[in-house]
Amino acid sequence: AQSVTQPDIHITVSEGASLELRCNYSYGATPYLFWYVQSPGQGLQLLLKYFSGDTLVQGIKGFEAEFKRSQSSFNLRKPSVHWSDAAEYFCAVGAMDSSYKLIFGSGTRLLVRP
């Protein structure tokens, strides 16, 4: 069965520091991959997505992610974190069945130190 693993439950970084959030998926073929962000009290906002082609994907708010097939990873990065980036981040993979659902990781909560 497909699954998504986000190994870090919490990450704390200083404002202005770089950020990398890890995501690993289990699936043999090239999946559809997504990163969503959930700010406190808010719904999920799509940050970026990967379907095919260039393995480095640019998203909104200065985020990018790199698809690495050999590592089954789709890590999210940002070169300089802002206090407003504090939120919970979810990696997801599109289910390769008839539901077209998304399979989510358990999320990583990002805390930003002033």
Partner 1 sequence: DADVTQTPRNRITKTGKRIMLECSQTKGHDRMYWYRQDPGLGLRLIYYSFDVKDINKGEISDGYSVSRQAQAKFSLSLESAIPNQTALYFCATSDAETGTDTQYFGPGTRLTVL
- Closest CB 6 distance from partner 1, rounded Å: 8
Residue 49's nearest CA partner among 39, 41, 61, 59 is: 59
Residue from 45, 55, 71, 80 touching partner 1 (CB under 8 A): that is: 45
Q: How many CB atoms lie within 10 A of CB 89?
A: 24
Q: Which residue, 17 or 101, is less far from partner 1 as judged by CB?
A: 101
What is the C-alpha to C-alpha distance for residues 109 and 37, in angstroms, rounded to an integer? 10
Q: Is position 36 an interface residue for partner 1 (rule: CB under 8 A)?
A: yes
The single residue listed with the structure tokens 């130190």 is: 113
What is the C-alpha to C-alpha distance for residues 10 and 17, in angstroms, rounded to an integer? 16
Q: Which residue, 46 or 56, is less far from partner 1 as judged by CB?
A: 46
Residue 24's nearest CA partner among 10, 36, 6, 49 is: 6
Q: Is position 49 an interface residue for partner 1 (rule: CB under 8 A)?
A: yes
**Per CB under 8 A, which of residues 87..106 are in contact with partner 1?**
90, 94-95, 99-102, 104-106
Q: Is position 51 an interface residue for partner 1 (rule: CB under 8 A)?
A: yes
Q: Which residue, 7 or 16, is less far from partner 1 as judged by CB?
A: 7
Q: Is position 60 an interface residue for partner 1 (rule: CB under 8 A)?
A: no
